[in-house]
Structure 1
Amino acid sequence: MSKGIKGEFDAIVVGGGPAGMMAAGMCGGQGKRVALFEKNRQVGRKLRITGKGRCNVTNNCAPEEAAAAAVRGAKFLRGAMAQFGPQDVMAFFEGLGVPLKTERGRRVFPQSDSAHDIAEALARFCESQGVQVLQEEAIGLALSEGRAAGVETGQGRRYACNSLVLACGGASYPGTGSDGTGYKLAEAAGHTIMPIGPSLVPLVEKGQWCSRLMGLSLRNCGLRVTEKGKKKPVYEDFGELLFTHFGLSGPTVLSASAYMRPMEPGKYTVHIDLKPALDEAQLDARLLRELEGQKNRIYANALDSLLPQKLIPVVIERSGIGPDTRCHSVTKEQRRGLGRLLKDFTLEIQGTRPLAEAIVTAGGVNLKEIDPRSMESKLCRGLFIAGEMLDCDAPTGGFNLQIAFATGRLAGLHA
C-alpha cells in the first residue's frame, strides 16, 4: 500500500443515495473491491423521505417514454433507459423482496407504502455484493495524469482507486446530505456545472388570492401554465393542487415547476380550470339552471352546489358581480363572465420556494462532458458521474428515481 494512503480499491463511489448504491452494488457484482462513501450515519437518507415517505420508485411505462419524460436530457438518457428501463427497475426490487404496486398515473410504489423498504433493499444489495460502506465525507479528488485516482476525506484520510463514481445528489434538502458538494468535486476535475435551481417545487403567487384560499385542496382540476408573450402553453396537466399561504403546491404544480425556467416575477401565469368536466356551453347551461332555480336568492348564496365553500367569496369578488345581487338580476354577460372565470381562474407567479425545499435540483454537470453509454467523464478518465448531479431532471411520477437507477447502473458496470 502506498505511503499515506488509507485504503486501495478498484472503485470508489461517493454518495449513498439511489444512484450511488445502485452503482456500488453493480460494480461489486463484477468482483471488484468497492468502497461506498456516505457522510450520513445511514445510507439513503433522502430516499427514505421521498414521496412523503412512500417512495415513487419508477413509472410503469416503456423505456422510451421514461427517457422522453425528462425536461432536460431526454436524448442523453435514451441508452441508459433502454438498458435498464422501468420494467427492469421493478423486477430488480421485487427480486430483492420488495413487492410493488402501480397506482394512478402509472406511479410505482412499494406495497408497504414505506420508502425505508426501498432504501434497505439497496443497502442489502450493496452488502451482498461485498461493498464496503465508509461513513466519511469525500472533500477532494486525487487526480493523476488526467485520471481519477482517489479521494481525500474530511477525516484527513486518502483512499486510492482505479475508478471513481460521483453520485452525490443535488442541492435540495441539504439536511439529508444533498448539499451541492458533488458539484465542487466535479468542477475540480474540470467539469462545467450548468446553473442549478429548484425543480419540483411549490410556486409563490404574485398576489394574495392563494393566502385567502390557504388549505383548500382541489382533487380534480385542470392546470395550464402560460409564459408572457407566448401563445403555446408551457405545461398542461389534470389532477390535484393545494393552495398555501404563499401560493400553490400539489402534484400538478410541482410537475409544472420543472418547465417554468428561467423563473422571473410575472413571467408565468397559472390557469386553473375549476370545472374541467364541463365545456363552456355546458357550464353556462348549468349556471343558468342554478340561477333560475334560485332566482330570488342573492348571488352570494347561490354557488354552494358549484364550488367548495372556501372558494366562493374569492370567486364572487373576482366575478365582479355584486354579492347582494339577486340571481334573477344577473345578466347574460355577467353569467358568461362567471363561467369564463371558473374555466380560467388565473394566478400570476412571483417565483418558487427556495432550492432547499425542492424535491429535485435542476442543472448540474454538463451532459456534453459525459459519455451517455457509460456515464464516464470525457474530461477525466476513470471518473463517472450519475444521478441528480447530472443536468437532467423530469416531472413527478417516479421519473427522477428512474434516472438515478438507470445512470447509476451504467456507471457501476463501467467503473
Structure 2
Amino acid sequence: MNKIIVIGGGPAGMFAAIAAAETGSQVILLEKNEKLGKKLFITGKGRCNITNAGDMDNLFANVMTNAKFLYSAFYSYDNQRVIDFFERNGLRTKTERGNRVFPVSDHSSDVIATLQKVLKEKKVKVMLHTQVQSLLMESSGEDAPENIVTGVKLTDGTTMPADAVIIATGGFSYQTTGSTGDGYRFAKEAGHTVTDIRPSLVPFLAKEDYVRQMQGLSLKNVEVRILNEKKLLYQEFGEMLFTHFGVSGPLLLSASAAIKPSLTAGELSMFIDLKPALTEEQLDHRLLREFDEAKNKQFKNSIGGFFPAKMIPVMLDLSGIDPEKKVNEITKEERRHFIGLIKAFPVTLCGLRDFNEAIITKGGVKVKEVNPSTMESKLVPHLYFCGEVLDLDAMTGGYNLQIAWSTGYLAGISAAQPDER
C-alpha cells in the first residue's frame, strides 16, 4: 500500500488527501495549526465562495498567472465536479451574482465540516499541531543520481517515511492563519525556483486625506479607471469601498491582481465614474433640472440626491463652487467642472496593503519545474505541489479555490499511482 504525506490542511491539502485516499493509499495529513481549514474559514467574508459556476473559458479567463498550466487540472476536476462533490456529501450550494457558488447556509464552517467528514470516511490520518521542518531526500542510485523524496522530518525531530509527499502549504497571505511561506522553503531546499512573491487581491493605499474622510462608505454601480500617466491599466464596473488607509472592495481587489506588480509600487491615477449610466450631457440636463426646481437653494443644499451623505462635503470642497452660492447663480463653467468631477472623481493610489490583508499570494513555485499533468516536481521524483504554493493566482469570484481543488485532486491521484510516476 502506498503511503502518502500531505503537508498543509487547507483546501488544496484536504482535497489532495481525499483524492489519494480514494485510491486505497494510506494518507497522512499534517497541519501545524490546531484545526484544518483556518484560512478557508475566513474566505468570502466567512461565507466561503467555493467555486465559480461559469464555463471553462470563463475559468481560464479569470486566471491571472500561468493559466495554460492549469489545463490538465481544470479538465481533470472542473467546477461542476466540485459542486457535485459538496452536494453529494451533504452540503447544499447556491449560485449568486457573477456565478459565485456558496453554501446555502452561508457558513464556511459547513464547507470545512464536509471536508472533515469525507477525510474521516476515507480513513485519512489527520495530525494537528504537527509542523514539518524539512523534506527527507536521498539519492535514487548510481544509475539515476537525482534525489528523490522519501518522507518528512518534523520540528520535534521525528522522521516520517513516505512513498510520496504533497506540499500544500499555501502562500504568504493572511499569515495569522499559518501561511508563513514554509512551502517556499521546502521547494527551494529541493532545488526549485520560487518566483518573487507579493500580495494580491489586496486593498490599495491612497494619498488624499479626503479619501479617509469617507471611511466606511461603499459605492455600488460605479466604474473605476486606473492609469499609469496616460496608459490605461484597468477599467471595470462594480463595487468599491473607502477605508481609513485608501480604497478596497471587489473593484480594487481585482485591480491589484490585474495590474503588473512593478506598477503597483509607484503612484497611479484612479478616476471613479460616480454615474456611469449617464453621459455628461444627460448629467448636465439632470443637474439643470434639479437646479431649476431649487432656484433659491444654496448649492450645498441642492446636491443631496446625487451622492451619499458622507461624500457631499468632499464633493462640495472639490467642486470649487462656493457652498453658499445660490444654484441659479452657478455658471456654466462651474457646472461643467462639477460634472467632470462626478464622471472622474480623482484618487491617487500609492501602493498596496501588506500580506496580512491579501486574500492570495502572487508568485510561488515556478510552474515550469512542475509537471502540469500530475503536479509532480520535474526535479525531484515523488514530490508534488498543489494550491497557492504554486505560481498561480486568479481574480475574486471562486477562481482561486477552484485552482486549489483542481490541483489538489490531480496531485492526490497522481501521487497515489506509483506505476504512472
TM range (shorter): over 0.9
- 1:137 is matched with 131
Verify: 1:14 aligned to 2:15, yes or no: no
1:264 Cα deviation from its structure 2 partner: 4.4
Deviations 1:305-354 (Å, cap 9, x if unpaired)? 11111111111111222222221121222212211111111211111111
- SS of alignment partner, residue 237 of structure 2: strand
1:266 Cα deviation from its structure 2 partner: 4.3
Given that residues 166 and 383 in structure 2 are in contact (C-alpha distance below 8 angstroms), is that contact kept between their aligned partners in structure 1?
A: yes
Given that residues 49 and 100 in structure 2 are in contact (C-alpha distance below 8 angstroms), is that contact kept between their aligned partners in structure 1?
A: yes
1:227 Cα deviation from its structure 2 partner: 2.3
- 1:157 is matched with 158
1:54-203 equivalences under 5 Å are 54-135=47-128, 136-145=130-139, 146-203=147-204
Given that residues 64 and 78 in structure 1 are in contact (C-alpha distance below 8 angstroms), is that contact kept between their aligned partners in structure 2?
A: no
Partner AA of 1:396 in structure 2: T
- SS of alignment partner, residue 394 of structure 2: coil
- SS of alignment partner, residue 365 of structure 1: coil
- SS of alignment partner, residue 40 of structure 1: coil
1:263 Cα deviation from its structure 2 partner: 4.4
Given that residues 12 and 405 in structure 2 are in contact (C-alpha distance below 8 angstroms), is that contact kept between their aligned partners in structure 1?
A: yes
* Distance in 1 of aligned mates of 2:412 and 2:97: 32
Partner AA of 2:349 in structure 1: I
Partner AA of 1:212 in structure 2: Q
Partner AA of 1:413 in structure 2: I
Q: Give the share of equivalent positions with the same residue, in percent.
A: 45
* Distance in 1 of aligned mates of 2:81 and 2:61: 17
1:363 Cα deviation from its structure 2 partner: 0.8
Aligned in 2, Cα 1:158/1:401: closer, same or farther, shift over 3 Å?
same
- 1:297 is matched with 297
Given that residues 9 and 35 in structure 1 are in contact (C-alpha distance below 8 angstroms), is that contact kept between their aligned partners in structure 2?
A: no
* Distance in 1 of aligned mates of 2:83 and 2:135: 34
Aligned structure 1 segments of 4 or more residues deviating by more than 3 angstroms: 263-267
Aligned in 2, Cα 1:117/1:338: closer, same or farther, shift over 3 Å?
same
Structure 2 residue runs of 5 or longer lacking an equivalent are: 140-146, 416-421
* Distance in 1 of aligned mates of 2:250 and 2:211: 17
Q: 1:26 aligns with which of 11, 15, 19?
A: 19
1:9 Cα deviation from its structure 2 partner: 5.9
- 1:3 is matched with none
* Distance in 1 of aligned mates of 2:94 and 2:297: 50
1:97 Cα deviation from its structure 2 partner: 0.6
* Distance in 2 of aligned mates of 1:116 and 1:9: 31
Verify: 1:284 aligned to 2:284, yes or no: yes
Partner AA of 1:168 in structure 2: T
Given that residues 86 and 114 in structure 2 are in contact (C-alpha distance below 8 angstroms), is that contact kept between their aligned partners in structure 1?
A: yes
1:381 Cα deviation from its structure 2 partner: 0.9
- 2:418 is matched with none
* Distance in 2 of aligned mates of 1:325 and 1:265: 42
* Distance in 2 of aligned mates of 1:265 and 1:193: 21
Aligned in 2, Cα 1:354/1:222: closer, same or farther, shift over 3 Å?
same
* Distance in 2 of aligned mates of 1:189 and 1:228: 43
Deviations 1:239-294 (Å, cap 9, x if unpaired)? 22111111111122211111232244543222211112212221111111112222
- SS of alignment partner, residue 50 of structure 1: helix
- 2:144 is matched with none
- SS of alignment partner, residue 211 of structure 2: helix
Given that residues 206 and 266 in structure 1 are in contact (C-alpha distance below 8 angstroms), is that contact kept between their aligned partners in structure 2?
A: no
1:395 Cα deviation from its structure 2 partner: 1.3
* Distance in 2 of aligned mates of 1:392 and 1:209: 36
Aligned length: 406
Partner AA of 1:141 in structure 2: L
Given that residues 256 and 264 in structure 2 are in contact (C-alpha distance below 8 angstroms), is that contact kept between their aligned partners in structure 1?
A: no
1:229 Cα deviation from its structure 2 partner: 4.5
- SS of alignment partner, residue 413 of structure 2: helix
* TM-score, scaled to structure 1: 0.95
Aligned in 2, Cα 1:24/1:148: closer, same or farther, shift over 3 Å?
same
Partner AA of 2:206 in structure 1: E
Verify: 1:258 aligned to 2:257, yes or no: yes
Partner AA of 1:76 in structure 2: F
1:40 Cα deviation from its structure 2 partner: 1.2
- SS of alignment partner, residue 141 of structure 1: strand
- 2:225 is matched with 224
Range 273-282 or range 159-168, more displaced:
273-282
- 2:143 is matched with none
* Distance in 2 of aligned mates of 1:112 and 1:222: 32
**RMSD (CA atoms):** 1.4
- SS of alignment partner, residue 195 of structure 2: strand
Verify: 1:382 aligned to 2:382, yes or no: yes
- SS of alignment partner, residue 252 of structure 1: helix
Aligned in 2, Cα 1:14/1:140: closer, same or farther, shift over 3 Å?
same
- SS of alignment partner, residue 193 of structure 1: coil
